[in-house]
Amino acid sequence: MHIIIFDDMEQATEEEVRRMLPLVSEQRRMQALEFRFTFGQFACLKSYLMLAEALPAAWQPLRFVVGPYGKPSLADHPEVHFNLSHCQQGIAVITHNQPVGIDIERFHKAEDALVGRTMNEQEQQLIRQSGHSEETFTALWTKKEAVLKLKGTGIIDDLHPVLTDERVQVQTFVDREKKYAYSIAMY
């Protein structure tokens, strides 16, 4: 397993986007330019370059195919599993020889309506009792999203039972200083 976390988001500039554009495949370049704002372009390009860094140079340029729920895979190397995630605080990339999911999120306010829609009773209690509700909510959210990305289903209607699958192992990491959390899910 190879994990790369990038959190120097001050680099998300138009100049850096221009610098990275010629370094990626035509497919990724076109995808990046579909984003309206510099941050989206930067995250799209940077995550590609981070993934390329984790894989053999001979595999360049990377070509992607997309599954029925939007999960990408490598067209020429379907045996390699990867996942990408980004938020305003950072970018996360993981590669592995088995299915894997990763999610990174900046700390979010644990608003009652959102917590009620996304968390089961036990998770809601953890958030209320934690003393760090934003951090706890975000950590739980990244766990759920990493599991959904592992399974390749994308966001589903009922998020309450997502963390009840005992076959799935989830690790969560929190950076209090930079105010983000990320989780990794695998079987």
For residue 107, the model assigns a pLDDT of: 98
19's CB contacts (< 8 A; 6+ apart) are: none
Domains of the chain: 8-77 (3.90.470.20), 103-186 (3.90.470.20)
pLDDT, tens digit, 9 for 90 and up, residues 58-96: 999 999 998 888 888 999 999 999 999 999 999 999 999
Q: How confident is the model at residue 156 (pLDDT cuts 50, 70, 90)?
A: confident
